[in-house]
């Protein structure tokens, strides 16, 4: 059956992409748009057999892809990046339709970034992968050998960007990949397969198997032929993934949720802090690295709240395809119920609503940008990730209290700190987290490490960290003096 999903002008295949061809399944699932609840079409649901075929294709393609070397792979991956860019309008339309991401942000930010994820790692592999360590007694040629078949599993909040963030370095390092896109937003990844096909990536190098986590994802992560699993998603799923990986001793990288602090010191530029604070509502705060716990010095509390409220009051909430829209919908009715439940329980427990606090009149899946305060440090709303437009605000009296509150969750993904630069940097150094932005937000260079500590993840990706993860690191040791075998050598 030729399943096809039409979004705007784009025609998107609902089939898997395995061994260089489109493949159907005996089962399928519906994809709908959070913008208006409209059913967009049906997509094949990967069975155990489909996953097995994709992993087998990737395993067969591995040796010759690896043998090309970084220079040999570069032209393929450069073409892949070009083909992604050539599909900018279709990719943007697809992900805006099924994930509700702002169309303008996709066109101008996320799709170009997806292409860069592929191009940058392909070029970096020429130089970053191999290093030489000189010691007194030896020269160590540190080689990054391709590892094998990599499983890539991504969540619905940014599937295109996250799939390429993992597939880019995995392919550049000489591996073959099987991607399982999120079931609530699979369409942009299907177009990614078209781009890989047009770039003439050899069959089996790049595979996509769509489906649910419980069926398709679980089958993929338990396949013993995998060499790596790179997963981005929630903590409970990460536990299942890590358990399956442990059975076969497959290394996994886990990029998980967060409850990151947004610290406003007494010497902060409050206008700048409030403007960045309002940015936390981008993508309806369905963003893992958003600062969602506002920690504000007591002396500037009212001034900060007034400034941020003034900006939030003017945010345009609505259809993510409109240029003017700043906050779009929540992905799914189940997610909206989850968000509303957190707010209702927080209010019952005594939280005060500074703004928002309920559904938005624009449509069924829209929720008001919300700020809650008067919350206990151990309250559910302070400790748990909501993954919707709901922030909490607490105050602190001095640096020590700011640091204590910032570190008072099981998470440790990101953070933001506004204040005089040296002061903010001192605070940042004491916050236990994977990364923290000083007087800024969201700067992500591909050279830099990315990942979380505690419940926010295991491992780092980005730059050389991606190559370390997606490779078998090998040390070729060449002695500097002639080596004489002797049992008395230590």
Provide the binding-site residues for ligand NAD, judged by CB under 6 A.
Answer: 153-157, 180, 182-183, 212-214, 217-218, 221, 232-234, 237, 240-241, 255-258, 288, 385, 387, 413, 452, 457
| Cβ nearer to ligand NAD, comparing 98 with 255 | 255
If phi > 0 it is left, if psi is from -120 to 50 it is alpha, else beta; for residue 350 that is left
| Cβ nearer to ligand NAD, comparing 234 with 439 | 234
Least Å from the CB of residue 152 to ligand NAD? 10
Residue closest to ligand NAD when measured from CB atoms: 213
Please return the burial class of 302, using the count of CB atoms within 10 Å of its CB with bins 0-12, 13-18 and 19+: exposed
- Tokens matching residue 8: 């705007």
**Does residue 255 have an active-site annotation?**
yes
Q: Which of 166, 189, 266, 326 is catalytic?
A: 166
| Cβ nearer to ligand NAD, comparing 76 with 262 | 262
Burial state string for 213-248 with b = 16 or more CB within 10 A and e = fewer than 16: bebbbbbbbbbebbbbbbbbbebebbebbbebbeee
Please give the full DSSP string across 424-464, using - where no structure is assigned: HHHHHHHS-SS--EES------TTS-B--SGGGEES-BSHH
Tell me if residue 226 falls in helix, strand or coil.
strand
**Does residue 338 have an active-site annotation?**
no
Least Å from the CB of residue 260 to ligand NAD? 10
C-beta separation of 452 from 469 below 8 A: no
Least Å from the CB of residue 414 to ligand NAD? 9
| Cβ nearer to ligand NAD, comparing 183 with 194 | 183
Least Å from the CB of residue 331 to ligand NAD? 8
Name the nearest CA neighbour of 221 among 184, 179, 183. 179
| Cβ nearer to ligand NAD, comparing 174 with 412 | 412
Q: What's the CA gap between 127 and 104, in Å, rounded?
A: 34
Name the nearest CA neighbour of 453 among 173, 258, 294, 214. 258
Least Å from the CB of residue 238 to ligand NAD? 7
Least Å from the CB of residue 418 to ligand NAD? 22
| Cβ nearer to ligand NAD, comparing 76 with 206 | 206
**Does residue 464 have an active-site annotation?**
no
Residue partners of 351: CB distance under 8 A and separation at least 6: 372, 373, 374, 375, 379, 381, 392
CA torsion angle 208 213 214 220 (round to 10): 40
Q: Which of 150, 189, 252, 288 is catalytic?
A: 288
Tell me if residue 295 falls in helix, strand or coil.
strand
| Cβ nearer to ligand NAD, comparing 144 with 259 | 259
Q: Which of 83, 255, 326, 385 is catalytic?
A: 255
**Does residue 150 have an active-site annotation?**
no
Least Å from the CB of residue 291 to ligand NAD? 13
Please return the burial class of 47, using the count of CB atoms within 10 Å of its CB with bins 0-12, 13-18 and 19+: middle
Give, to the nearest 10 degrees, the angle between helix 187-198 and helix 159-172: 40
Active site residues: 166, 255, 288, 461
């Amino acid at each position: 059956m030729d399943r096809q999903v039409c979004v705007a002008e784009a025609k998107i295949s609902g089939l898997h992409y395995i061994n260089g061809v489109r493949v159907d399944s005996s089962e399928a699932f519906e994809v709908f748009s959070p913008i208006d609840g409209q059913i967009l079409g049906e997509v094949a649901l990967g069975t155990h057999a489909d996953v097995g075929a994709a992993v087998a294709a990737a395993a067969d393609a591995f040796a010759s892809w690896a043998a090309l070397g970084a220079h040999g792979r570069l032209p393929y991956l450069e073409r892949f990046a070009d083909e992604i860019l050539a599909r900018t309008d279709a990719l943007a339309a697809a992900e805006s339709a099924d994930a509700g991401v702002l169309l303008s942000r996709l066109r101008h930010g996320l799709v170009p970034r997806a292409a860069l994820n592929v191009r940058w790692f392909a070029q970096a592999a020429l130089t970053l992968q191999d290093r030489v360590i000189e010691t007194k007694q030896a020269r160590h040629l540190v080689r990054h050998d391709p590892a094998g078949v990599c499983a890539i599993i991504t969540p619905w909040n940014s599937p295109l960007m996250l799939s390429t963030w993992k597939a880019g370095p995995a392919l550049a390092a000489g591996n073959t990949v099987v991607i399982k896109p999120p079931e609530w937003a699979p369409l942009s990844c299907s177009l990614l397969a078209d781009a890989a096909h047009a770039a003439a990536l050899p069959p089996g190098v790049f595979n996509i198997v769509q489906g649910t986590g419980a069926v398709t994802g679980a089958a993929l992560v338990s396949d013993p032929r995998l060499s790596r699993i790179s997963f981005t998603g929630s903590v409970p799923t990460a536990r299942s993934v890590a358990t399956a990986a442990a059975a076969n001793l497959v290394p996994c990288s886990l990029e998980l949720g967060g409850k990151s602090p947004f610290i406003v010191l007494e010497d902060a530029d409050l206008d700048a802090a409030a403007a960045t604070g309002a940015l936390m509502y981008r993508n309806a705060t369905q963003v893992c690295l958003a600062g969602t716990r506002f920690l504000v010095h007591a002396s500037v509390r009212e001034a900060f709240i007034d400034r941020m409220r003034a900006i939030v009051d003017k945010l345009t909430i609505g259809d993510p395809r409109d240029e003017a829209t700043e906050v779009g919908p929540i992905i799914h009715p189940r997610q909206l119920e989850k968000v509303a439940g957190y707010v209702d329980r927080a209010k019952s427990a005594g939280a005060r609503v500074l703004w928002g606090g309920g559904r938005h009149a624009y449509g069924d899946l829209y929720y008001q940008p919300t700020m809650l305060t008067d919350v206990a440090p151990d309250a559910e709303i302070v400790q748990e990730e909501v993954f919707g437009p709901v922030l909490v605000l607490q105050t602190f009296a001095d640096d020590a209290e700011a640091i204590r509150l910032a570190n008072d969750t099981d998470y440790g993904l990101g953070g933001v700190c506004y204040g005089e630069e040296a002061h903010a940097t001192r605070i940042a150094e004491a916050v236990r987290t994977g990364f923290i932005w000083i007087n800024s937000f969201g700067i992500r260079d591909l050279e830099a490490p990315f990942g979380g500590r505690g419940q926010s993840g295991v491992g780092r990706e980005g730059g050389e960290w991606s190559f370390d993860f997606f490779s078998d690191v090998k040390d070729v040791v060449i002695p500097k003096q002639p080596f004489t075998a002797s049992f008395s050598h230590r």
